[in-house]
Structure 1
Amino acid sequence: MEWKATCPYNPKLDLKDCYLYDTTLRDGEQTPGICFTKEHKLDIAKKLDDMGVKQIEAGFPVVSASERDIIKTISSEGLNAEILALCRVVKDDIDKALECDVDGIITFIATSPMHLKYKLHKELDEVEQMGMDAIEYAKEHGLFVAFSAEDATRTPIEDILRIHKNAEEHGANRVHVADTVGCATPQAMHFICSELSNTLKKAHIGVHCHNDFGLAAINSIYGLMGGAKAVSTTINGLGERAGNAPLEEFVMTLKALYEHDMGLKTEKLKSLSQTVEEYSKIKLAENKPIVGNIVFYHESGIHVDAVLENPLTYEPVLPEVVGQERKIILGKHSGCKAVASRLMEQGIETDREHLWEIVKKTKETRESGVEITDNVFKNIVHQILDDKK
C-alpha cells in the first residue's frame, strides 16, 4: 500500500542540496517561559542529529557563561551536524562563540526602516558596515558565516540585494531572509529569494520565517522555490510570539505533498516532538498537524468504515511514517464496523442484534458525558450480553 495520499494537482519540486538549520535550542528557547537545562539541550541536539539535521543552532553565547558552557558541550559531542551559534555584529559576541568551539555563526543586524529608526537609531550604511566587519572578523577565524538581515521582509528590495551581495563579497557562506514578524506572504518570499538568487554567485540563501499568520512553513517552501537552499525550523514550532516554521510540518509538507525528501528520519518526529514538549512545558494542541496526539484517531462511523479497509481514505500519510499510531475511538459517532473491530480485538463474538445494541448503548453513554474507555466499553458489552443470557 502507498504510504501517503496523493493530490494529482500538486507540483513536484526539483530541489537540490536543500537542508535545515534547526534553531529549537536558540530561537525556540526564546519562547517566553522556556529555559532548557544543559541536559535538555544536549538530548535535543543528539536527537536532531540522529534524525539527520545538517546544522543545529545551539544557542546565543553572549547570553551567559552557562549558555556558553552548554554550547561548548554540544560542540564537543562529536555530532555529525554542524554546530552554529548566534552573534550580534559585535567582535565580543564572535569571540565568545569562538570560545565555544562552534563550527560557525549566524550574525545578524536589522536593516528595515522600522528597526533602523526605532530600535538601532542608526543609518543603513553604518549598519551595513558593522555587518561586513563582523563577517570579515569571523572568516579570519575560520568560521562558517551566515549573515542575517533582520526584518528583511520589510527592507526595500534594492537594499536587501546590495547588502547581501556585499556580505557574499566579504566571505559570507550564507545570507538569510528573515521574516521577523511573519508579515510576508508566500509570493513575497518567492520574489525576494528569486531576486537574491539572480544576484548572488556563491553564497547560499537561507530563510528564517516566523509564524504570526500561520504561514511560516509554506513561506519557507516558497523561499526554496525562489532559490533558497537552507530553512530555519524549530520542533513544535517554538519561538518568539507565534513561533517559527515547525520542523515536522515543513518536512512532511515537502515530503508528502511536493515529493521532495530531505533525507530525514521522519519516523522519529513524534518522539522528538514529545521530548521537546516535555522539556519546554509548552503543551501541544491535541490536533497539532503531524505530531498531535489525536491526528490519527478516528471516531466517525463513515470514516472508520473506510479506514479499516484502506487508511489512506482518511489519512494523508500512514501514521508510522511520522512515528505515530492509528487509533479507533468509540463514541457518539461510532458505527457497527468500529464496534465490531473493537470486539474482535477483545476476542468477543456476538450476533448482529447484540452488535446493534452495543453500538446504541455506546452512543448513549458518550452523549451522557462519559468517555468510552476500554473499561467502560467492556462494561457496556457485558451488561448487554449478560442481559441476553
Structure 2
Amino acid sequence: MTMRDDIILEDTTLRDGEQTPGVAFSKETKTKILNSLIEAGVTSVEIGIPAMGGEELDFIKSCVDRQDEARLVVWHRGVREDVESSLDLGFKAVHIGLPTSKGHLKASVRKDRSWLLSTATELIKMAKDRGAFVSISAEDIARTEISFLQEYAGVVHEAGADRLRLSDTVGLLGPEAYGERVAAVGEAAPIDTQCHAHNDFGLATANTLAGLHAGARYFHVTVNAIGERAGMADLAQVVVALKKLYDRDLGIDLTKLKDMSRIVAAAANHEVLPWQPVTGDNVFAHESGIHANGMFRDTSSFEPFPPEHVGGERRYVLGKHSGRALVAWALEQQGIEPREDLLGQVLDEVRAESIRARGAVSQEETVALYEKALARTSG
C-alpha cells in the first residue's frame, strides 16, 4: 500500500513521554515544551491526564483556551466521569485508553471483552453527542488476536469514533507484524488508525513507518524518544525520515528540532546521546581521516543531508582516527600554515594524546603540539 498524503503527527511528550520513570514536568515546564512543539509546527499534541489532578490538572486547564493553536488531546481511562470532566472543561478532543488483549483486560482493568465492547461504545457515543473528536485505544495489540482487533475496530467505528490507536504497548511487534495489524484493521473498518509504537526492541521508528505504509493516517512520537521503559518513536527521526526518504512533508520546521530536543532533555534531566540520530552532537561530526578527506572535497560524501536542514552544525574532530589533512586543516583554522614535513609527527602525537585523554584533541592543543615539533627542528 502507498503511504497516505494526509498523515498527521501527534506528539505525546507531555503524556506518554512524561511517563518515563523518574521524569516529572512542572506546569511551567509543560507549557514551555508545548510552546516549542507548536512553534515548530506540530498540529496535534496529547497534553496529559486530568485524573492525576494537582499541577497536572492545572496545566491542562490552562490549555483550554489554546485549542485554536493545535488539536490538544486529553487522555483518559475508560471511565465515563473522566471523559465528561474534560468535556465540561471545554476540550474538543479526547482519547479513551482501553486494552484489547485478554491478558491486559484481566490484569489491568479486571474485565472481559463484553465489558470492553459495551464500555467503548457507550463512551464514544457520549463524547460524540457532545461534539468531540474521539480517539480510542486498542492497547496491547501484539497479544490481541487479529480477528478480535478487526471486530473491535468495527464496533468503535460503528459507535462513531474518529480514530483507533493501535498501541504496541510493550513493544513486542516487528515492522512486518505491526504493519499486518494496521492493514487488517483497514480491511475491517473505514476508521482512521494511529500508530503508537514502543521501543523495547529498538523498532519503534521502524514500526511507525511500517504502520504508515500499511495505511495508518496518524502516528505518535515523543521528543528524544522518551517514554516508558525504552521509550517511543522519536519525533525528529520520524519527521526527517518521512521528508527525506518518503517525500512526506508534515510542515514541521526542521531547524527547530535540535533546540526542541535540548528543551526536553533539560526538562527530563537526561542528556541527549551524542549519536542520537538527527539531534545528537556527533551526527555531523567527522574524525576519520578517510571521511575528513572526502568531506573537504564534497560534504555529501559522509552526510545524508546538510546539518543546517535540522538546526545542527558540522564539526571536525581531532582524535585517534584522524589523518594528516585534518591536522593541517585544524592548524590553518588557527592561522598557521603548517610545514608538510611536520604533519606526520604532529599526527602521531594527536593520536597518542587522544588515547591518553580518552577523547578529542582541541585545535589549541594541536597548535601546542605543532609548536613543540617546530621547536625540536629549530633547536
TM-score range, shorter chain: over 0.9
Q: How does 1:233-272 map to 2 (within 5 A)?
A: 233-272=221-260
Match of 1:144 among 109, 126, 133: 133
Q: Provide the rounded CA distance (Å) in 1 between the counterparts of 2:290 and 2:246.
A: 29
Match of 2:281 in 1: 293
CA distance in 1 between counterparts of 2:89 and 2:58 reads 7
Residue aligning to 1:115: 104
Change (3 A) 1:313 1:100: farther
What is the one-letter code of the residue matched to 2:260? L
State the one-letter code of the partner of 2:98: I
Segment drifting more, 252-261 vs 107-116: 252-261
Query: Partner residue of 2:333?
Result: 345
- For residues 1-389 of structure 1, the aligned pairs below 5 Å read 14-77=3-66, 80-201=69-190, 203-369=191-357, 371-389=360-378
- The one-letter code of the counterpart of 1:127 is L
Aligned residue identity for 2:203:
L
Partner of 1:368: helix, strand, or coil?
helix
Conservation of the 8 A alpha-carbon contact between 2:26 and 2:55: no
Q: Which amino acid aligns with 1:59?
A: G
8 Å Cα contact 2:320-2:351 kept in structure 1: yes
Residues 13 and 260 in structure 1, CA contact (< 8 A), matched pair in contact too: no
Local SS of the residue matching 1:163: helix
* Aligned mates of 1:100, 1:219 — CA distance in 2: 35
SS of 1:343 mapped into structure 2: helix
Query: Which sits farther off after the overlay, 140-149 or 115-124?
Result: 115-124
Contact residue 13 and residue 258 of structure 1 kept, 8 A: no
Q: Secondary structure at the match of 1:320?
A: helix
Query: What CA distance in whole angstroms lies between the structure 1 residues aligned with 2:88 and 2:295?
Result: 55
In the alignment, the residues of structure 1 paired with residue 2 and residue 257 of structure 2 have an alpha-carbon distance, to the nearest angstrom, of: 22
Whether the 8 Å contact between 1:13 and 1:259 is mirrored in structure 2 is no
Corresponding position of 1:3: none
Which amino acid is 1:297 matched to?
A
Q: How many angstroms does 1:32 deviate by?
A: 0.7
The offset of 1:358, in angstroms, is 2.1
Contact persistence 2:3–2:214 (CA under 8 A): no
% same residue: 34
Whether the aligned pair in 1 keeps the contact of 2:2 and 2:215 (CA below 8 Å) is: no
Provide closer, same or farther for how the CA distance between residues 123 and 14 of structure 1 changes in structure 2, counting only shifts above 3 A.
closer
- Any stretches of 5+ residues in structure 1 without a counterpart? 1-11
Amino acid of the residue matched to residue 333 of structure 1? H
1:33 CA displacement:
0.6
Describe the shift of the 1:318–1:154 C-alpha distance in structure 2 as closer, same or farther (beyond 3 A): same
* Contact 1:62 1:96 (C-alpha < 8 Å) held by counterparts: no
C-alpha separation in 2, matches of 1:341 and 1:81: 47
For the residues of structure 1 that align with 2:73 and 2:314, how far apart are their CA atoms?
37
SS at match of 1:350: coil
Structure 2 CA distance for aligned equivalents of residues 174 and 29 of structure 1: 23
Residues 153 and 177 of structure 1 are in contact (CA less than 8 Å); yes or no, is this contact kept in structure 2?
no
How many equivalent residue pairs? 377
The letter of the residue matching 2:172 is C
| Partners of 2:153 and 2:164 within 8 A in 1 | yes
Across the aligned residues of Structure 1 and Structure 2, the Cα RMSD in angstroms comes to 1.8
Q: Deviations over 1:261-298 (max 9, x none)?
A: 22211121111111100001122322112211212111
Q: Is the 8 A contact 1:25 1:59 kept in 2?
A: yes
Q: Which residue of structure 2 lines up, in the alignment, with residue 9 of structure 1?
A: none
Which secondary structure does the structure 1 equivalent of 2:326 belong to? helix
How much has 1:78 moved relative to structure 2?
Answer: 5.7
Amino acid at match of 1:258: Y
Q: Calculate the TM-score normalised by the size of structure 2.
A: 0.95
Q: Distance in 2 between matches of 1:44 and 1:156?
A: 37
**Aligned-residue offset at 1:66:** 1.8
Q: Is the 8 A contact 2:258 2:312 kept in 1?
A: yes
| 8 A Cα contact 2:331 2:366, kept in partner | no
Partner of 1:205, secondary structure, is strand
Tell me the TM-score normalised to structure 1 length. Answer: 0.92
Name the CA distance, whole Å, in 2 between partners of 1:245 and 1:350.
47
Deviations 1:127-165 (A, max 9, x none): 111111111111122211101111123111121111122
Per-residue deviation, 1:79: 5.3
| Alignment-derived partner of residue 8 in structure 1 | none
